[in-house]
Structure 1
Amino acid sequence: MEIVAEGLAFPEGPVVMADGSVIVVELAGGRITRCWNGRTEVVCEIGGGPNGAAIGPDGALYLCNNGGLDLVRFQNAHGPGHEGRIERVDLATGKFERLYDACGGIALQAPNDIVFDADGRMWFTDLGKTHDGVRTASGLFSAQPDGSDVVAINRHAVSYNGVGLSPDGRHVYVADTHQARLWRYDRRLEAQRPAWVATAPGPVGFDSLAVTAAGNICVATLYQGGITTITPEGRVTKLDIAGEPYVTNIAFGGGDRQDAYITLSQTGRIAKMRWDEPGLELHYNG
């Protein structure tokens, strides 16, 4: 693996840009950072706990912000200023605005990951929060990028994290962290029960994910760190990354989309490696 950047404060949410740079969030630093082959530049100091990110139909960066995380105890920060929210960032100016912090009058807890469909609608997960041994519910949501409409697809999950779309756009895949399970939703339906796709063996957890052009789901895997690849039929294989317990994200880039950018969050690094199949082209790119 080639190390693209290091010295980052728990990097997550990589977005591969057309100019070859990679934008990441620094969850423990409360900022968004652009990386070029060892150089870094702060886009903005957004605060809270920036998490998953994606380019929207207007070219802006849309961000899940979990409100802040105590990485020593792995508990969410709470109190004023630590609300979970969805934010929009103008990459040219660094200006950001809050789009959503509630759905149906119920506060968002810890928005985690995000993807846009072909219609320009965002799909995002809410991991839920943990405070002093008490855990709130997790869920999957769908929303318009202009802040006008947000819908709860499921409010009763355990610990939803990564989210991605199938190549034909029919399905939404969601990774559950604590269960190490991959679930599938029908994108055309609102309230529904998801279909189980696969569960990873061993003492592992699931984080963010990316889908390949062939439809395989590559899930960043925690504790025994690596990338778990799951076929739509549920076959499971795993690439181990030794010494990296917090492998948290994978994103594809390069001219053939076979450059895999992987966040090694505990050691504060972004790595790049060649993947054996091209990633799915996202609907919107920077």
Structure 2
Amino acid sequence: MEIVAEGLAFPEGPVVMADGSVIVVELAGGRITRCWNGRTETICDIGGGPNGAAIGPDGALYVCNSGGLDLVKLQHARGAGHEGRIERVDLATRRFERLYDGCDGIALEAPNDIAFDAEGRMWFTDMGKTHDGIHTASGLFSALPDGSSVTAIHRHAISYNGVGLSPDGRHIYVADTHQARLWRYDRKVEAQRPTWVATAPGPVGFDSLAVTAAGNACVATLYDGGITTITPDGMVKKFDIPGERYVTNIAFGGADMCDAWITLSTTGRLVKTRWDEPGLELPYHG
């Protein structure tokens, strides 16, 4: 694997840009960072704990922000300034604004990952916060990018993390970290129970995901690090990355969509490798 950038503060949420750069969030640094081969540039110091990112229909970067970490207690930070929220970053001006920090009068806890459908609607997960031995509820949400409407699809999950759409746009795939399970939702149905797709074997957890053109979900896999590929009918195979416990994200790009950018978060690296099938082209690009 080729090292694209290193020395990053827990990188996540890679977004492949048209100019060949890759934008990542730095969870432990509270930054949005653009990466070229061996070079990095801070786009903005967004604060909190940015987790996931995606380009929206207006060309802006939309960010899931978990609110940050308490590095003394090694848990999610809470209190003023540490609210979970969805933010919009104007990449031209580098200014950012808060769009959502609650839904139906209930505060967001720790928004984690985000994807857009072809109609311009965002889908994001809230993993919930872990603090003082307590883990708050997790869920899946849908919202408009102008800040006018947010809907809870499911509020009673264990630890939702990665999210992505099927190639036909009919389904939303969601990865559950602590259960190492992949779930599927019908995009057109609100307030629903998901369909189980597959569970990964072994002592692993799931993080973010990307979908291939064939409809397979490639899920970044924790603890015994790698990428787990799950077909729509539940077949599972794993690409191992030895020595990496926190393989957290994968994103596809390149002329043939077979270049894969992967974040290795605890070692602070963004790497690139060739993949054995093309990724799904996203509806919006930077």
TM-score range, shorter chain: over 0.9
Q: Match for residue 85 of structure 1?
A: 85
AA aligned opposite 1:46:
I
Q: Match for residue 113 of structure 1?
A: 113
Q: Match for residue 273 of structure 2?
A: 273
Matched, 1:136 2:136: yes
Q: Match for residue 4 of structure 2?
A: 4
Instruction: Give the deviation of 1:73 after TM superposition.
Output: 4.9
Q: Distance in 2 between matches of 1:72 and 1:216?
A: 39
Q: Distance in 1 between matches of 2:227 and 2:164?
A: 15
1:119-152 per-residue CA deviation (whole Å, 9 max, x = no partner) reads 1000000000011001100000000000000000
AA aligned opposite 1:249:
N
1:76-101 per-residue CA deviation (whole Å, 9 max, x = no partner) reads 00110000000000011110000000
Matched residue count = 286
Instruction: Give the deviation of 1:21 after TM superposition.
Output: 0.1
Instruction: Give the deviation of 1:70 after TM superposition.
Output: 3.5
Is the partner of 2:156 in helix, strand or coil? strand
1:206-248 per-residue CA deviation (whole Å, 9 max, x = no partner) reads 0000000000000000000000000000000001101110000
Q: Distance in 2 between matches of 1:74 and 1:120?
A: 36
Q: Distance in 2 between matches of 1:261 and 1:72?
A: 31
Q: Distance in 2 between matches of 1:74 and 1:234?
A: 35
Q: Distance in 2 between matches of 1:74 and 1:228?
A: 27
Q: Distance in 1 between matches of 2:205 and 2:269?
A: 20
Q: Match for residue 51 of structure 1?
A: 51
Q: Distance in 2 between matches of 1:72 and 1:195?
A: 38
Q: Match for residue 229 of structure 1?
A: 229
Q: Match for residue 254 of structure 2?
A: 254
Q: Match for residue 243 of structure 2?
A: 243
Q: Match for residue 97 of structure 1?
A: 97
Q: Distance in 2 between matches of 1:201 and 1:11?
A: 26
1:177-232 per-residue CA deviation (whole Å, 9 max, x = no partner) reads 00000000000000101000000001100000000000000000000000000000
Q: Distance in 2 between matches of 1:74 and 1:192?
A: 34
Q: Distance in 1 between matches of 2:57 and 2:205?
A: 31
Q: Distance in 2 between matches of 1:237 and 1:72?
A: 37
Q: Distance in 1 between matches of 2:167 and 2:70?
A: 36
Q: Distance in 2 between matches of 1:193 and 1:42?
A: 40
Q: Match for residue 191 of structure 1?
A: 191
**TM-score in terms of structure 1 length:** 0.99
Instruction: Give the deviation of 1:69 after TM superposition.
Output: 1.9
AA aligned opposite 1:138:
S
Across the aligned residues of Structure 1 and Structure 2, the Cα RMSD in angstroms comes to 0.7
AA aligned opposite 1:218:
C
Q: Distance in 1 between matches of 2:18 and 2:36?
A: 12
Task: Rate the CA distance shift 1:209–1:73 in 2: closer, same or farther, 3 A.
Answer: farther
Q: Distance in 2 between matches of 1:21 and 1:119?
A: 26
Of 65-74 and 152-161, more deviation after overlay is shown by 65-74
Q: % of aligned pairs identical?
A: 84
Q: Distance in 2 between matches of 1:91 and 1:70?
A: 28
Q: Is the 8 A contact 1:111 1:126 kept in 2?
A: yes
1:230-284 per-residue CA deviation (whole Å, 9 max, x = no partner) reads 0000000001101110000000010111000000000000010000000000000
Instruction: Give the deviation of 1:32 after TM superposition.
Output: 0.3
Structure-to-structure mapping, 1:124-163, within 5 angstroms:
124-163=124-163
Is the partner of 1:251 in helix, strand or coil? strand
Q: Distance in 1 between matches of 2:253 and 2:4?
A: 13
Q: Distance in 1 between matches of 2:71 and 2:168?
A: 38
**TM-score in terms of structure 2 length:** 0.99
Q: Match for residue 285 of structure 2?
A: 285
Q: Is the 8 A contact 1:28 1:71 kept in 2?
A: no
Is the partner of 1:270 in helix, strand or coil? strand
